[in-house]
Amino acid sequence: MEQLEKQILDISQNVLELTVQAVRLVQNKDIDKLNELLVNRDRAINILNALHENLQLYPNKERVNIVNSKLSQIVSRINQYDEIITECLEHQKKLNQTELATTHRGKQGLQGYNLNNLKG
C-alpha cells in the first residue's frame, strides 16, 4: 500500500506541476504548447484515477482517508489553477472574436469599391 500511496501522491504532484506550466503557457498565449501539455496532463489524470480506484479497495480505511485528504488538497490547488486557465482562455476567445468581427467588417467595407473601373 505504501508504494501505491507514493505513486498517487507523486502523480498528483506531477499533475499540479503540469497545471502550473499550463498557466504560464496560457498567459504567454502559447496555445499550441498548451494543447500538448493538457493532453499529457489528461493522461496523468487518467492514471491517477485508476490508481485511486485501486486505493479504495484497501481494507485500512484510516490510511486510505489520509491519502484521500492529501489528494484532496492537491486537487483543490489544481482546480484553482484551472480557473485561471479558463479565465485566460475566455479572455483570449473574446479578443479573437473581436478581431475577427473587425476584419470581417473591414472586408465588407472594401467590397463596395470596384477597383477595376479606375481611370488611370
In a structure prediction context, what are the per-residue pLDDT tens digits for the chain, which is 120 residues long? 789 999 999 999 999 999 999 999 999 999 999 999 999 999 999 999 999 999 998 888 999 999 999 999 999 999 999 999 999 999 999 988 888 878 777 666 666 666 666 555
> Minimal CA–CA distance to 35: which of 22, 24, 17?
22
Domain boundaries, the chain: 2-108
Distance of alpha carbon 118 from alpha carbon 99, whole angstroms = 31
Name residue, grid cell 486537487: 75
Contacts by 42-48, CB closer than 8 A, 24 or more apart: 44/11, 44/14, 44/15, 44/18, 45/15, 47/11, 48/8, 48/11, 48/12, 48/15
The predicted pLDDT at position 43 comes to 97
Does residue 55 contact residue 5 with C-beta atoms inside 8 Å?
yes
- Confidence (pLDDT) at 103: 78
The radius of gyration computed from the CA coordinates of the chain, to the nearest angstrom, equals: 24
Query: Any idea what DSSP says for residue 59?
Result: S
Written out in words, the top-level CATH class of the domain with range 2-108 is mainly alpha
| Class of residue 47 by CB neighbours under 10 A (exposed 0-12, middle 13-18, buried 19+) | middle
* pLDDT score recorded for residue 102: 81
